[in-house]
Amino acid sequence: MTYKQVLDPTSHSVIFIKGFKNVKNISELKEKLFDGSLQCCICKLSLILDPFQIVVAANKAITAGKLITKSIYTEILYNLSISKNITQSLQKFGIDESVDNIIVAVIAKENDSVNAQQIFKEIIGDEINLSLLKEMANVTDIRKAYKISDSEFQELPLLESIITRIAINDLI
């Protein structure tokens, strides 16, 4: 199942998101990301509670007017993190050889899903239903990544805490 969301109306863009488990070609995907032949954002599934996290980070990237990182896709990883350190952000949310469960996001112009579908075909793994994200996410790692205290965790929905941090990170 592909999650599709319209981004900021002025961008005339949409984001397509899919989750995969048991991915067998992480090294190849990482190499293609680095050489630019794979135009997408791939992040660790364990740190994503809901696709809306990625939508908020993508909207920030697409409406910012300028990139802090080298591409719109690394900008999404950077925006997912609360760190202002680019390297730390990319390492925390990006993929490495130890990861086999991933989330893939592709930004396209409205009504252009062809590129996204071609990119998703590059992934050798089992597609997951994104409704399972909450079960597959590592809440301990998410709380650590977003510095969510015990009291906040008990008082507020976790997704609300995450989205708030992503949305206001550049204001702090």
14-19 average pLDDT score: 97
CATH number at residue 132: 3.30.2380.10
| Number of structural domains found in the chain | 1
Residue 6 main-chain phi, psi, to 5 deg: -70, 135
Domain around 157? 3-171
pLDDT of 65-82, one tens digit each?
A: 889 999 999 999 999 999
Mean pLDDT, rounded, for 122-146: 97
pLDDT of residue 89: 94
Q: What mean pLDDT is predicted for residues 104-115?
A: 85
Which of 90, 89, 82 lies closest to 171, judged by CA? 82
- Distance from chain centroid for Cα 129: 16
